[in-house]
A and B are shown apart, each in its own frame.
Chain A
Amino acid sequence: MKFGVVVFPGSNCDRDMYDALKYDLKQEVVMLWHKDKELPGFTTDDCIVLPGGFSYGDYLRCGAIARFSPLMQAVIDFANKGGKVLGVCNGFQILCESGLLPGALLRNANQQFVCKNVFIKGEEGKALKIPVAHGEGRYYADKATLRQLESDNQIIYRYCDADGNITDAANPNGATDNIAGICNANRNVFGMMPHPERACSEVLGNTDGRRVFKTLLIKNLQLTAEPVLA
């Protein structure tokens, strides 16, 4: 299994993602250019990562233009064939705009760009400290979609406090039901607003991001190579 990190004009977390996967998680990673039309050498066992940033300047809507970039057509085909895709922050927005994930990311309810550590809780049940940095991260979907996400267990992370309690106070952007990340029904496409790649290195003082990659990628994506975990 290998990773491909897509670089769009305006991506700014692509190198962080590359470094975290390569040096902290000891995975094979290649950078991919948005103008390419194919994913050469990638099989559905591999994982394409859409990194954070401000692709195409967030013009029109976050992720709206990136969706039509040449490489995204290949990524959408890849995902529809069962290939693994992870989108973080702007990558999550692109996945929603592409229709690979349901719902949308709206402007934060508190009218602020929020850049801080938050806690999130997934199926592991333990609160993980992961940074967020976004102005448009308020997850929204209509009621029918939310019911579907809930019943299919597609909500992979919710914002919580340090003790794992899911409260309004722990919700940094007003996301519906404290939703921080979701996956598709086939469980091969994942999107989340928090940045696990910023919390994978000991020198950064936080390695909770490795738990995110471990849970998402090893368990759900059946990662073959066991990453080195502290």
Chain B
Amino acid sequence: MTYTVQIKVMPLKELLDPQGKAVMGGLQNLGIKNVEDVRIGKNITLQIDAASAEEAKQLAEEASKKLLANPVMEYFEVSVN
């Protein structure tokens, strides 16, 4: 069957995220206070034909390791819906 798999890709926590910093400045200019930090990543949705949710997850993890995320600068989390 076809599984919908969500992959969250985020910049590593220890790295500066200039995109997040720029958006944080925008939020402050809007008057939205109390936001202490903004970090921006990607959400990637895959439709995967697999025999089980576990297999779909394994395929998504392989895709993430090989292409969708770069472990030098990013981490990822896979969830199967």
The yes or no answer to B30 lying at the interface (CB within 8 A) is: no
What 0/1 pattern do residues 9 to 46 of B give for CB contact below 8 A with A? Answer: 00100011111011000000000000000000000000
- B16, A103: Cβ atoms closer than 8 Å: no
- A111, B22: Cβ atoms closer than 8 Å: yes
For A174, the closest partner residue in chain B by CB is B16
Closest CB in chain B relative to A55 CB, distance in Å? 15
Q: Which residues of A are found within 8 Å of B51, using beta-carbon distances? A: none
Q: Quick one: given A64-B67, A106-B15, are A111 and B21 in contact (CB under 8 Å)?
A: yes
Complex alpha-carbon distance, A217 and B22, angstroms: 40
- B18, A104: Cβ atoms closer than 8 Å: no
Q: Is the interface of A mostly helix, strand, loop or mixed?
A: loop
- B22, A106: Cβ atoms closer than 8 Å: no
Q: Which residues of A are found within 8 Å of B18, using beta-carbon distances? A: 107-111
Complex alpha-carbon distance, A107 and B18, angstroms: 7
The yes or no answer to B72 lying at the interface (CB within 8 A) is: yes
Complex alpha-carbon distance, A104 and B71, angstroms: 10
The yes or no answer to A60 lying at the interface (CB within 8 A) is: yes
Complex alpha-carbon distance, A169 and B23, angstroms: 24
- B67, A106: Cβ atoms closer than 8 Å: no
* B15 in complex: contacting residue of A61, A68, A108, A140, CB < 8 Å: A140
- Size range of the interface on B? 10 to 19
The winner among B19, B22, B72 for most chain A CB atoms within 10 A is: B72
- B72, A104: Cβ atoms closer than 8 Å: yes
Complex alpha-carbon distance, A61 and B22, angstroms: 19
The yes or no answer to B68 lying at the interface (CB within 8 A) is: yes
Closest CB in chain A relative to B34 CB, distance in Å? 22
Complex alpha-carbon distance, A110 and B22, angstroms: 10
* Residue total for A at the interface (Cβ-Cβ under 8 A): 18
- B67, A109: Cβ atoms closer than 8 Å: no
Q: Which residues of A are found within 8 Å of B70, using beta-carbon distances? A: 61, 64, 97, 104
What 0/1 pattern do residues 97 to 124 of A give for CB contact below 8 A with B? Answer: 1000001101111110000000000000
The yes or no answer to A141 lying at the interface (CB within 8 A) is: yes
What 0/1 pattern do residues 14 to 58 of A give for CB contact below 8 A with B? Answer: 000000000000000000000000000000000000000000000
Closest CB in chain B relative to A193 CB, distance in Å? 16
Q: Quick one: given A106-B15, A109-B18, are A60 and B67 in contact (CB under 8 Å)?
A: yes
Complex alpha-carbon distance, A68 and B66, angstroms: 10
Q: Which residues of A are found within 8 Å of B50, using beta-carbon distances? A: none
Residues on A close to B: CB < 8 A?
A: 60-61, 64, 68, 96-97, 103-104, 106-111, 140-142, 174
Task: Kindly list 7 other residue pairs between chains A and B, CB separation below 8 angstroms, not including A106-B15, A108-B18.
Answer: A61-B70, A96-B72, A104-B70, A106-B16, A106-B73, A107-B17, A141-B72
